[in-house]
C-alpha cells in the first residue's frame, strides 16, 4: 500500500522537459584549440564565407560545442543559422550547391554537400524557444516579429512531430505566458500549430503564473482550448501520444465542473473523480493515474496548493467486491455480473466508500438490479456494434 501510494504520488507517464526557471546567462569564452582549428576545412571556410556574404549568421551548435569544451574533436558538427530553410534553399540553388535529405526541411534543417567532399547540416534558429531561455525582458524587437509574421506560412511545411517537440518546451518554459501571447495574439500562428483561432491566452497566463514548474505541456495546451474538438484538431496536427490526448480531453471535459467544485469548496467532488478513474469496475487502466490527471486538472483551474496536497496524501479506497465474490453468492458470470458490480459500486459510492464487502454482498440479488438485454431483442445494427 505504501509503495502504491508513492507511485501514485510521484509517477507520471509523461516525459517532461526539464527547463530552467530563471534566465540562462550565457558565459562567453574564446576557443582556440587544435581540435577547434581542425574543423575549418576548405569546405567549411567556403560555407562560412557564403553565409557571411549574404548577411546570415552561421554558428556551431549542439554536441560539437560540448565536445570542444572538453578538448574532444567532434565526430560531426551541426550548425545553426539565422537564415530560414527557404532562404538556404535559394542560396544553395543560386550557388549550385547540392542539397541532401530534402525532407529535413520539415524540421527546419537543410543538409548541403560542399565540393562533393563534405556534408553540413544546418538548422534555423528557433526564435521563440530561445527568446524565453535567454531574454532579459519580455520585449521583442519589432523587426523580428515583423519578419515572423511575413514568413509565418513557412510553418505549414514543418512536420507535426517537430511542431509538438517545440511546443512542449515553449508552453512550460521560462516566460511562456509572454511568449505564447506574442505567438498567438500578435503573430497569429494558431492555424499552423493546430490551435483554435480564439485561444484563451489570458487563462493560459493565469495557470502558468500560478504553477509554472509543476505543469504538463498538455495541461497548458488544454488551457488554450475550450472543447474536446479543439484537442482533437490539435492531436490531428501534432500526433499526440494517447496519454497526452487523454489528459487534454480530460481537462477540457471536466474544467467547468472543477471550477464549480472549487467555488463551492466541494472536496468530495475531486475525490469522486479520482475513484471514478482509478476504481470503477472495468475502468480503463490507463498509463497515467487518475490521481495525476485530477492534480493537473486542479492546477488547470488554479486551485490552491492546499487542495492538491490533500488529494495527493489521500489514500484512494479499494472497492472490496470482486467477480469471484459474486460467483460465491450465486451471481452468474457475464452481463449479469457486470450489472451487479456496477450496482454495488454505486451503493458503495453513496456510502462514501464505507460499506464492507459483507454488507455489499447482501445486496447482490436486489430486485432493482436490471437484467441484461437479450442480444436477439436488439436491432441488427445495434447487435453488430455491441459485438465490436
| All structural domains of the chain with their residue ranges | 31-125, 130-229, 241-316, 323-387
Strands (E), the chain: 58-61, 78-81, 98-100, 109-114, 118-124
Cell numbers 517545440 correspond to what residue? 166
Tell whether the model's pLDDT for residue 382 goes beyond 90.
no
For the residues 131-154, what does the mean pLDDT come to?
76
Q: Work out the percent of the chain whose per-residue pLDDT is above 90.
A: 54
In whole angstroms, what is the distance from residue 19 CA to residue 214 CA?
11
The pLDDT tens digits for 239-290 are: 999 999 999 999 999 999 999 999 999 999 999 999 999 999 887 776 678 9
The pLDDT tens digits for 3-13 are: 344 444 434 44
Q: Do domains 31-125 and 130-229 have the same CATH topology?
A: no
So what's the pLDDT on residue 315? Answer: 95
Class of domain 130-229: mainly alpha
**62 burial type by CB count under 10 A (0-12 exposed, 13-18 middle, 19+ buried):** middle
Class of domain 31-125: alpha beta
Query: What predicted TM-score, i.e. pTM, was given to this entire model?
Result: 0.72
Q: Strand, helix or coil at 274?
A: helix
Amino acid at each position: 500500500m505504501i509503495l502504491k501510494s508513492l507511485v501514485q504520488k510521484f509517477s507520471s507517464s509523461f516525459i517532461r522537459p526539464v527547463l530552467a526557471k530563471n534566465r540562462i546567462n550565457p558565459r562567453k569564452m574564446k576557443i582556440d584549440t587544435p581540435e577547434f582549428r581542425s574543423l575549418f576545412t576548405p569546405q567549411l571556410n567556403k560555407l562560412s564565407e557564403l553565409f557571411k556574404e549574404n548577411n546570415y549568421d552561421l554558428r556551431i551548435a549542439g554536441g560539437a560545442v560540448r565536445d570542444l569544451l572538453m578538448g574532444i574533436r567532434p565526430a560531426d558538427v551541426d550548425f545553426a543559422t539565422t537564415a530560414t530553410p527557404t532562404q538556404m534553399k535559394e542560396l544553395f540553388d543560386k550557388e549550385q550547391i547540392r542539397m541532401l535529405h530534402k525532407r529535413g526541411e520539415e524540421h527546419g534543417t537543410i543538409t548541403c554537400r560542399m565540393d562533393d567532399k563534405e556534408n553540413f547540416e544546418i538548422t534555423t534558429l528557433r526564435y521563440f524557444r530561445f527568446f524565453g531561455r535567454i531574454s532579459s525582458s519580455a520585449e521583442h524587437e519589432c523587426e523580428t516579429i515583423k519578419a515572423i509574421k511575413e514568413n509565418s506560412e513557412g510553418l505549414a511545411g514543418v512536420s507535426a512531430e517537430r511542431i509538438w517537440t517545440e511546443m512542449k518546451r515553449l508552453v512550460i518554459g521560462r516566460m511562456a505566458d509572454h511568449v505564447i501571447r506574442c505567438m498567438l495574439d500578435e503573430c497569429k500562428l494558431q492555424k499552423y500549430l493546430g490551435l483554435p483561432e480564439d485561444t484563451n491566452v489570458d487563462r493560459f497566463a493565469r495557470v502558468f503564473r500560478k504553477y509554472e514548474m509543476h505543469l504538463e505541456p498538455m495541461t497548458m495546451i488544454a488551457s488554450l482550448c475550450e472543447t474536446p474538438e479543439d484537442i482533437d484538431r490539435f492531436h490531428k496536427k501534432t500526433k499526440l501520444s494517447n496519454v497526452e490526448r487523454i489528459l487534454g480531453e480530460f481537462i477540457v471535459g471536466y474544467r467547468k465542473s472543477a471550477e464549480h467544485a472549487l467555488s463551492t469548496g466541494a472536496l468530495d467532488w475531486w475525490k469522486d473523480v479520482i475513484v471514478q478513474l482509478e476504481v470503477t469496475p472495468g475502468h480503463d487502466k490507463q498509463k497515467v493515474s487518475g490521481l495525476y490527471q485530477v492534480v493537473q486538472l486542479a492546477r488547470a483551474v488554479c486551485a490552491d496548493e492546499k487542495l492538491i496536497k490533500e488529494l495527493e496524501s489521500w489514500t484512494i479506497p479499494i472497492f472490496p467486491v470482486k467477480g469471484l465474490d459474486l460467483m460465491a453468492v450465486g451471481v452468474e458470470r457475464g452481463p449479469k455480473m457486470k450489472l451487479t458490480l456496477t450496482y454495488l459500486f454505486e451503493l458503495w459510492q453513496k456510502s462514501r466508500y464505507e460499506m464492507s464487502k459483507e454488507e455489499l454482498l447482501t445486496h447482490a440479488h436486489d430486485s432493482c438490479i436490471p437484467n441484461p438485454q437479450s442480444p436477439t431483442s436488439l436491432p441488427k445494427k445495434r447487435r453488430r456494434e455491441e459485438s465490436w
